[in-house]
Structures are given as C-alpha cells and as structure tokens.
Amino acid sequence: MNSQWIEINSSTGATFPGYLSLPPTGTGPGILLIQEIFGVNAHIQGVADQYAMDGYVVLAPDLFWRQEPRVNLGYDGPDFNKGLELMAGLHLEDTLADLAQAASTLRQRPEVSAPVASLGYCMGGKLSYLAATRGIVDAAICYYGAGIDGLLQHAPAIHCPMLFHFAEQDAYISATAIRAVADTFAQQPNAWIQTYPHVNHGFNCWARGAYNQPAAALARGRSLEFLSYYLTPVANPKA
C-alpha cells in the first residue's frame, strides 16, 4: 500500500498525526476516516487501505493526540477500558476543530480530485454526524454511531447526503434510538438509513467478536454505492 503517517496542522499551531493512504491511481475523491475509541489502530489503518484500493484518498486523523499520540489499542480488557478513558478525555470542540483541519488538509492535497466525505465507526460515527452538522464534509457515513439520537436537534443544519448503518441488536444503541434517527431523516431524499438484523455493535470490524462478514460486506457495498453517487456527480443518477 502507498500509505504513510503525515502531520496535520491544528488550529492552535501544533501538529498532530494522521494516517494517509493513497489509491493505486494516485488521485481520487477524499475520505476523512474517523476512528473508534481504540485509536487509529491496525483495523482503522486496514480500513483506510481498503478504501484506498477502491480509489479514494483516505486520511484517518489521530484524535487522541493531545492525550497520547498514535494509540493502537485492542478491543478487550485493559485496552477497552483505556479507550473509554481516552474518549472521556476528549473535548468536543477541540475534536471537531481537529476534524475540520484534517478535512482541510485532505482537500488541499494534490491527490484529491473531488469532494470529501467522512466515514466513522462508533465514536467516529457520531463524530461523522457532527462533522456534517458543521459543514466540514460534503457527505457523511455513520456506522453504529452511539449518541446520535441525543443530537438530533442539530439535524436541520445538515445539507449534505447521509448514510447511517445500524445493528438491530446493538447493545449500545436501542431500537428507539434507531427509530428516532430514521424518523428525523425520513423526508430527506439524500439520507439512507440501513439496519442489519441479527448483528451487534462493531459488526464491521474483523478483529472483534461481533464481526459479521455478510453484514460487513453488505454495509461496505452500500457505502461504496453511496460514495459513488455523491462524490462523483457525473455518476450520480439521483442528482
């Protein structure tokens, strides 16, 4: 893979790391990939490389850099607890500022030839939603974003296409929460709400016990369909 860690300028003048993965052609639309509580770990780097192979320029910023740069956690025991502590230590406005800086960095890269979408998992799913409410990205994908139902008052500020992936048996996101999101976006033609039966939170991650290959493959296919519609206008039959 043509991937590397780069430095991103923060709004405070400091820099922070991000994992950049380039497509084989060298250029393409941009994806701002937003981590879970486990950092820009081996799985998130793998996802970045995966989407790069599909033709996207992918940047995964390290959102824990103020606490501990380049965190690479697993999913159980002490690592899980540490991830929760790191998430609790995030300051939301600082984090959104970092995402805005990362998106700007991505847009300015010579390899990026089209708009930029965000794609996030769990904590990153909620942040992907919030990035859309701030106009940071041109489209947003949210995988099992816990807490989005408590932020629906910001939905009217969203003016970009949205894709939500939810697990029907999610231990962290209730059926009521999923319905609230679906109802809020029901009248939005560019909002896609997808649910996956018989799977739990984290079904996309091949390193977790909750991994479900059919659901992960289906969600990935839908994500690629969504991105092809909204990041490449000439290919968008819904425009």
Q: What is the pLDDT of residues 205-235, one digit of tens each?
A: 999 999 999 999 999 999 999 999 998 754 4
pLDDT, the chain, mean: 95
Domain spans in the chain, listed from the N-terminal domain onward:
2-233
* Cβ neighbours of residue 81 closer than 8 Å, sequence gap 6 or more: none
Q: Which fold has domain 2-233?
A: Rossmann fold (3.40.50)
What's the distance, CA 71 to chain centroid? Answer: 17
Look at residues 111, 156, 170, 164 and name the one whose alpha carbon lies nearest to residue 139: 164
DSSP label at residue 150: G
Tens digits of residue pLDDT in 170-194: 999 999 999 999 999 999 999 999 9
Tens digits of residue pLDDT in 1-43: 799 999 999 999 999 999 999 999 999 999 999 999 999 999 9
Q: Which residues pair with 227 in a beta bridge?
A: none
- Of 76 and 119, the one with more pLDDT: 119
Strand order in the sheet with 191-196: 2-9, 15-22, 57-61, 28-34, 112-121, 139-143, 162-167, 191-196
What is the pLDDT at residue 118?
98
* Cβ neighbours of residue 238 closer than 8 Å, sequence gap 6 or more: 189, 190, 229
End-to-end CA distance of the chain: 33
DSSP label at residue 138: S
CA separation (Å) from 68 to 59, 81, 105, 178, 236? 19, 15, 22, 33, 41
Across 15-45, b (16+ Cβ under 10 Å) vs e yields ebbbbbbbbeeeebbbbbbbbbbbbbbebbb
Tens digits of residue pLDDT in 96-117: 999 999 999 999 999 998 799 9
What is the pLDDT at residue 114?
79
What is the pLDDT at residue 113?
84
Q: Can you read off the two tokens belonging to residue 170?
A: 């999610």
- Where residue 136 falls among pLDDT bands split at 50, 70, 90? very high
Whether the predicted pLDDT of 79 surpasses 90: yes
Q: Which helix (H) or strand (E) holds 59?
A: strand 57-61
Q: How many CB atoms lie within 10 A of CB 141?
A: 31
Q: Which residues pair with 119 in a beta bridge?
A: 33, 141
